[in-house]
Amino acid sequence: MADGGRDDILGQKAQAAQRAFEARGMSLAKALRRALSRTADVLWDLALVTQSVAVEMLDQDGVVAALTPGDLLLLLDGPDGALGLVLVDRQVMTGLIEVQTIQQVTQMPLVAERDLTATDAAMMAPLLDGALDRLADSLADHPLHGQLQGYRFGAMVEDARTAALLLDGAAYRVFTVDIDLALGRRRGLLKLILPERKPRRGADAPPPDDLPGPHEALLSRVPAKLNAVLTRVRLPLNKARDLKPGDLLPLAPDALDRVEVMAGTGHLVARGRLGKVNGLRAVRLTWPVIGEGAGPGAAFAGTAAGIGVAEAITPDSGGPDALPDLPATNPEPEFDIGDFSGAEALPELPAMDFAAEAAEFDIDALGEDAASFEGGEPLTPLPDVDMSDDFAAESVHFDGDG
């Protein structure tokens, strides 16, 4: 079958799906009416009523013929380079400009010969962008949702001839909307012209998020090795060579609080504290904190912190099948320092004899000039105080029995 025939069949199926959807849900015309009215109300508290909406399919020549001269013509930027058009007649344009400048819609007569400017076009952008977003959102499950989403205000188009040069679609869906502003103060037409794009074929459609990826089954069986490093010890080569089973290595007092979780490639992914949960050795992760996103192990930390405790399987723990289920409440691990009772005790510090050291210290060795210390400054001598001017010296007698 030729590509043209296949595309025609896909288009017919899309139209049939559209009719079935509209029979049980919201039509395109109803969705557009609501989108325009809601956007005008939210932006400017403006009563915008759509009297009627007509939807038709036109080719390029039909679109050019539908562009009435003298009205404001706007370009819409769409997804994948698609281009749409919007035609706003002068009554609707004037009403929207009035509500944004003087906060009300008037009935002043129009100046028909006034040239349209890019400022006029820019003042239509809030209504168009808001209405197009709401239109696509309200038709999220509609078969034509992909045809309507992603369009934004682009620029002003000079005339119909320039617009004809920009049209490259085979067919266009034209929405002709009869708009009433501020209870009939201004009334006119707005035409929304969107290109008809080819429906996505089944092979090109993106997979839903809830379906497994093509390699999920294989990747789920790939082992991920993590090592919990308690501490690092430096030893001379001769002592390291003489190590044998049963030898004890000294550990720092804070080694339990500085456990490092290392990936198989050797880089740090998390830090934690070593303790026990339900009688099994476990590591409670303390870094990185969720939300920081710091470090190469941020993704791993988010998963591990979600379960609260990452267990370390030891040779004597009986393997992974022997590990019980961790409680959902993530209780604090009971740290048992007794697990390390086999380690050597820290040597006691020798007693300090401060009296003997003070006797050996010779204050005369400092000399009279304190500047003999490196970087020091001479001490300023204190002035002599003569107490005889204001105070009379007199002997003091203490009576212990009193």
200 domain residue, yes or no = no
Band of residue 262 on the pLDDT scale cut at 50, 70, 90: confident
What pLDDT does 385 receive?
A: 53
Name the more confident of 217 and 268: 268
- Specify whether 257 is located in the same domain as 333: yes
33 close to 138: Cβ distance less than 8 angstroms:
no
88 close to 74: Cβ distance less than 8 angstroms:
yes
What pLDDT does 275 receive?
A: 85
388 domain residue, yes or no = no
Name the more confident of 68 and 300: 68
175 close to 53: Cβ distance less than 8 angstroms:
yes
CA distance 88 to 36: 13
289 domain residue, yes or no = yes
Whether 60 shows a pLDDT value over 50: the answer reads yes
Band of residue 311 on the pLDDT scale cut at 50, 70, 90: very low
Final residue of a structural domain among 340, 373, 389: 340
Name the more confident of 106 and 392: 106
What pLDDT does 200 receive?
A: 54
What pLDDT does 168 receive?
A: 87
263 domain residue, yes or no = yes
92 domain residue, yes or no = yes
Which tokens sit at 357?
């050291």
Name the more confident of 60 and 113: 60
- Specify whether 183 is located in the same domain as 315: no
Band of residue 371 on the pLDDT scale cut at 50, 70, 90: very low
- Specify whether 49 is located in the same domain as 147: yes
- Could you give the residue ranges of the DSSP H alpha helices within 67-150? 90-101, 118-122, 125-138, 145-148
Answer positive or negative: Cα dihedral of 339, 341, 346, 351.
Answer: positive
Full-model pTM:
0.47
- Specify whether 182 is located in the same domain as 233: no
- Specify whether 152 is located in the same domain as 240: no
- Specify whether 164 is located in the same domain as 21: yes
Q: Which amino acid is at 258?
A: R
CA distance 152 to 76: 5
49 domain residue, yes or no = yes
Rounded to a whole number of angstroms, the distance between the first and last alpha carbons of the chain is 128
253 close to 343: Cβ distance less than 8 angstroms:
no
Closest of 244, 245, 248, 220 to residue 233, by C-alpha: 248
**Residues 190-219, mean pLDDT to the nearest whole number:** 68
Whether 42 shows a pLDDT value over 90: the answer reads yes
What pLDDT does 202 receive?
A: 47
106 close to 205: Cβ distance less than 8 angstroms:
no
Q: Omega before 206 cis (within 30°)?
A: no
Which tokens sit at 100?
């944004």
278 close to 317: Cβ distance less than 8 angstroms:
no
**Residues 91-102, mean pLDDT to the nearest whole number:** 95
For β-strands 72-77 and 152-157, DSSP reports them as antiparallel
211 domain residue, yes or no = no
126 close to 43: Cβ distance less than 8 angstroms:
yes
Strand blocks (E) in 59-200: 72-77, 83-88, 152-157, 172-181, 186-195
Task: Share the mean pLDDT of the chain.
Answer: 74
What pLDDT does 71 receive?
A: 92
Number of domains in the chain: 2
The pLDDT tens digits for 263-310 are 877 788 889 988 888 778 888 888 776 544 444 444 433 333 333 333
**Residues 195-205, mean pLDDT to the nearest whole number:** 61
- Specify whether 90 is located in the same domain as 160: yes
**Residues 254-266, mean pLDDT to the nearest whole number:** 85
Q: Residue 252 belongs to a domain with what CATH number? A: 2.30.330.10
- Least confident piece of the model among 94-108, 143-157, 189-203: 189-203
What pLDDT does 210 receive?
A: 54
Final residue of a structural domain among 291, 314, 340: 340
- Specify whether 267 is located in the same domain as 155: no
Answer positive or negative: Cα dihedral of 10, 14, 15, 16.
Answer: positive
- Least confident piece of the model among 150-159, 224-233, 331-340: 331-340
- Specify whether 146 is located in the same domain as 27: yes
- Specify whether 150 is located in the same domain as 234: no
- Specify whether 266 is located in the same domain as 305: yes
Percent of the chain with pLDDT over 70: 61
What pLDDT does 233 receive?
A: 85
Most confident residue range from 6-20, 85-99, 134-148: 85-99
Closest of 311, 308, 310 to residue 327, by C-alpha: 308
How many CB atoms neighbour CB 35 within 10 A? 22
What 3-state DSSP class applies to 54?
A: strand
Whether 401 shows a pLDDT value over 80: the answer reads no
Torsion angles phi and psi, residue 213, rounded to 5: -70, 170
In DSSP terms, 58 is beta-bridged to 172
Angle at 336 between CA 330 and CA 339, to 5 degrees: 125
Whether 356 shows a pLDDT value over 90: the answer reads no
Question: For the sheet containing 268-277, what is the strand order?
Answer: 226-229, 259-263, 268-277, 280-287, 310-311
What pLDDT does 23 receive?
A: 42
Which tokens sit at 365?
């060795």
CA distance 230 to 340: 12
208 domain residue, yes or no = no
How many CB atoms neighbour CB 181 within 10 A? 22
What pLDDT does 144 receive?
A: 81
The pLDDT tens digits for 30-41 are 899 999 999 999
What 3-state DSSP class applies to 261?
A: strand
Final residue of a structural domain among 298, 320, 340: 340
Structural domain range at position 317 = 222-340
Name the more confident of 197 and 106: 106
List Cβ<8 Å contacts ≥24 apart for 133-137: 134/34, 134/35, 134/38, 134/39, 135/31, 135/32, 135/35
- CB within 8 A of 93, min separation 6: which ones? 71, 72, 120, 124, 188
For β-strands 152-157 and 172-181, DSSP reports them as unpaired
Whether 349 shows a pLDDT value over 90: the answer reads no
- Specify whether 59 is located in the same domain as 144: yes
Whether 373 shows a pLDDT value over 50: the answer reads no
What 3-state DSSP class applies to 285?
A: strand
What pLDDT does 274 receive?
A: 86
65 close to 172: Cβ distance less than 8 angstroms:
no
